[in-house]
């Protein structure tokens, strides 16, 4: 038992599990489900009363880039199951081609964030995961290279979670930060990608809105940005499956979201930007004349904060080759898409029609620890490589792989580097995953 006196507080209760997942976004949820289905006892810690992260609280409302431009699937497995379950409830559309403002074609699935909350609840409960909601990471107990326990603050007091393997899926990698992990620095001239306040607007006459050409959309977006009505020169949106409303991604908040004061200020500024953008849509954009702002995201959607230094740091050069990895555990085809912290444009580096890349298992393993894995936007990757692999489809695939790996490690001594790659890859393929 931990000596709680050295932490300055009493432990209200202790929960033991083979795998603890910190963070219930789509990456963490898939990791928890995969580990439990593989036979591990799993506890998932989440600060909200629901799961989904940017997919629900951030209201991104679309899963994109499941395949290469010419239609070769690169993401499947549990991510496919999520979409199938959404469709069962009427909460998602079919795979459809979307043309970005840059001209890049990708497929996406539009979905209802509220329904996704139900789907993730069902998947966790059916697999036997024990969710610990309304819980925030307080600190981490470490002995040498071993993470011994995670302490979380709950309504019941401080709960100690003891596990053989920790999966940090918290986005900001809060658990490993408190454990003393090493993180990648930004190179000179780089800045963290900005956050976005998603907002729901409607009703929209989508027949007229969708009839706008790419050039017309670009001109309307540029006009709104130049006039100070839009914080980003874009009219990017996805349609709600249950209505004629759309979720719009057209705000821009250049912050470090690990700074509590800056994050709070960004929430306020994000709502202000969303309100101004909604007025511009109503006044100037065909098909939006009868619309009004319906809802804000529960929180700003954060693209980038901490990225772990892992056994392998994935680079954009490796994605663009693409480099083949013997320990590949997931694949992707999303382009390098960097939103600058200021200005209306984005930096975009497209891929070939059949171009896909791989994510190696070693990029999930933080240096300095033997029983920890990272999934989600904190995976070990450079700023530019992260700009490609950060999207939710890829995050679900990486989460599934980490969950299976954690279950294998937990049956032994918890050492994640000892997981046999042929065994892990075979199990992922059996479960429908694509490895590239």
CATH number at residue 47: 3.50.50.60
Token reading at 87: 């469709």
How many other CB atoms are there within 10 angstroms of residue 46's CB atom? 28
Q: Quick one: 60 and 100 in the same domain? A: yes
Q: Quick one: 231 and 358 in the same domain? A: no
Q: Quick one: 54 and 143 in the same domain? A: yes
Among the candidates 251, 280, 296, a domain finishes at 296
pLDDT over 50 at 1, yes or no: no
How many other CB atoms are there within 10 angstroms of residue 338's CB atom? 21
State the average pLDDT over residues 20-47. Answer: 98
The pTM of the full predicted model, rounded to 2 decimals, is 0.96
Helix extents (H) in 243-347 = 260-284, 316-320
Q: Is residue 436 part of a domain?
A: no
Token reading at 378: 């904190």
C-beta separation of 134 from 21 below 8 A: no
State the average pLDDT over residues 356-370. Answer: 98
Q: Is residue 435 part of a domain?
A: no
Q: Quick one: 66 and 102 in the same domain? A: yes
Q: What count of Cα atoms within 13 Å lies in the side-chain half-sphere of residue 334? A: 22
What's the whole-number average pLDDT of the chain? 95
Confidence at residue 436, expressed as pLDDT on a 0 to 100 scale: 87
pLDDT in tens, 376-407: 999 999 999 999 999 999 999 999 999 999 99
CA distance 244 to 240: 7
Among the candidates 234, 268, 296, a domain finishes at 296
- Which residues, other chains included, contact 370 with Cβ-Cβ below 8 Å and sequence gap of 6+? 145, 146, 414, 415, 416, 417
Number of structural domains the chain divides into: 2
Residue 253 domain boundaries: 199-296
Q: Quick one: 11 and 139 in the same domain? A: yes
The residue that leads in pLDDT, 31 or 106, is: 31
pLDDT in tens, 133-170: 999 999 999 999 999 999 999 999 999 999 999 999 99
DSSP result, 124-147: HHHHT-EEE-S-EEEEEEEETTEE
Q: Quick one: 325 and 183 in the same domain? A: yes
pLDDT in tens, 243-277: 999 999 999 999 999 999 999 999 999 999 999 99
Token reading at 395: 């995050």
Write the DSSP symbol of residue 341.
S
Q: Quick one: 121 and 204 in the same domain? A: no
C-beta separation of 433 from 64 below 8 A: no
DSSP result, 370-413: SSEEE-GGGSSB-HHHHHHHTSHHHHHHHHHHHHHHHHHHHTTT
Q: Quick one: 182 and 122 in the same domain? A: yes
- Which residues, other chains included, contact 152 with Cβ-Cβ below 8 Å and sequence gap of 6+? 45, 132, 135, 136, 137, 138, 158, 159, 161
pLDDT over 50 at 284, yes or no: yes
Q: Quick one: 331 and 374 in the same domain? A: yes
For residue 189, what pLDDT band results from cuts at 50, 70 and 90?
Answer: confident
Q: Quick one: 236 and 366 in the same domain? A: no
Q: Is residue 194 part of a domain?
A: no
CA distance 415 to 393: 27
Q: Quick one: 108 and 216 in the same domain? A: no
Among the candidates 296, 313, 337, a domain finishes at 296
């Amino acid at each position: 038992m931990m000596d709680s006196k050295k932490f300055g507080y009493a432990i209200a209760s202790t929960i033991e599990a083979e795998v603890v997942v910190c963070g219930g976004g789509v990456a963490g949820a898939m990791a928890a489900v995969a580990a439990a289905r593989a036979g591990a006892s799993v506890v998932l810690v989440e600060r909200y009363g629901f799961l989904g992260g940017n997919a629900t609280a951030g209201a991104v409302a679309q899963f994109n880039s499941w395949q290469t431009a010419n239609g070769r699937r690169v993401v499947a497995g549990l991510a496919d199951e999520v979409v199938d379950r959404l469709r069962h409830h009427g909460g998602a559309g079919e795979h459809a081609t979307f043309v970005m403002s840059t001209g890049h074609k990708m497929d996406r699935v539009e979905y209802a964030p509220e329904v996704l909350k139900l789907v993730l609840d069902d998947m966790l409960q059916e697999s036997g995961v024990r969710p610990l909601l309304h819980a925030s990471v307080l600190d981490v107990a470490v002995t040498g290279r071993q993470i011994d326990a995670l302490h979380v603050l709950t309504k019941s007091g401080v709960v100690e979670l003891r596990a053989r393997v920790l999966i940090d899926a918290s986005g900001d990698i809060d658990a490993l930060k408190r454990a003393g992990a090493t993180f990648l620095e930004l190179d000179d001239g780089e800045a963290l990608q900005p956050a976005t306040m998603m907002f729901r607007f409607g009703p929209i006459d989508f027949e007229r809105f969708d009839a706008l050409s790419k050039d017309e959309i670009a001109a309307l977006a540029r006009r709104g940005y130049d006039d100070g009505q839009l914080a980003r020169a874009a009219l990017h949106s996805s349609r709600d499956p249950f209505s004629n409303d759309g979720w719009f991604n057209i705000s821009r908040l250049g912050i470090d979201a690990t700074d509590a004061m800056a994050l709070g200020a960004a929430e306020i500024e994000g709502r202000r930007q969303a309100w101004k953008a909604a007025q511009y849509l109503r006044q100037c954009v065909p098909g939006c004349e009868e619309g009004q702002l319906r809802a804000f995201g529960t929180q700003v959607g954060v693209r980038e904060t901490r990225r772990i230094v892992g056994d392998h740091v994935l680079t954009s050069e490796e994605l663009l080759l693409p480099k083949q990895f013997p320990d590949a555990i997931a694949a992707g085809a999303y382009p390098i898409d960097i939103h600058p912290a200021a200005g209306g444009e984005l930096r975009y580096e497209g891929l070939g029609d059949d171009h896909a890349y791989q994510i190696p298992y070693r990029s999930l393993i933080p240096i300095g620890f033997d029983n920890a894995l990272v999934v989600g936007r904190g995976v070990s990757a450079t700023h530019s490589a992260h700009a490609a692999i950060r999207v939710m489809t890829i995050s679900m695939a990486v989460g599934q792989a980490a969950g299976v790996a954690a279950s294998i490690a937990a049956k032994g001594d918890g050492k994640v580097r000892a997981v046999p790659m042929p065994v892990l890859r075979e199990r992922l393929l059996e479960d429908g995953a694509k490895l590239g």
